[in-house]
Amino acid sequence: MSALIALLVAVAWFKVPFRGSLPFLYGSAGLFLIPTLGMGLIVSTASKTQQQAMLASVFLLMLPQIYLSGLIFPIENMPTMA
């Protein structure tokens, strides 16, 4: 449902043209949700409190994604694997 709302806002409000297949968009969004929900379940199972779960998800999941996405450090400046 949120993918549909994001698509409608992008097309209607920001005038972003949608080119592609709507079933492929929903299929790929579904494939994205499976490992994402799995990682959330693992963190929530291993944590005893909500605060511990939030901190674990930030440090174990979000921080590496932010660092490796190129948001903070450009990918071109990262050293190559030896």
Query: For 57-75, how does the pLDDT look when each residue is reduced to its tens digit (9 = 90+)?
Result: 998 888 888 888 888 888 7
For the cut 90, the answer to whether the pLDDT of residue 3 exceeds it is no
Mean pLDDT confidence for 4-11:
94
Contact indicator for 3, 25 with CB cutoff of 8 Å: yes
Torsion over CA: 77, 66, 33, 60 (sign): positive
For the cut 90, the answer to whether the pLDDT of residue 23 exceeds it is yes
Helix (H, G, I), strand (E, B) or coil at 80: coil
Measuring CA to CA, how many Å separate 47 from each of 23, 41, 52, 57, 63?
36, 10, 6, 10, 18
Least Cα distance to 32 among 54, 57, 2, 11 occurs for 2
Question: pTM for this structure?
Answer: 0.63
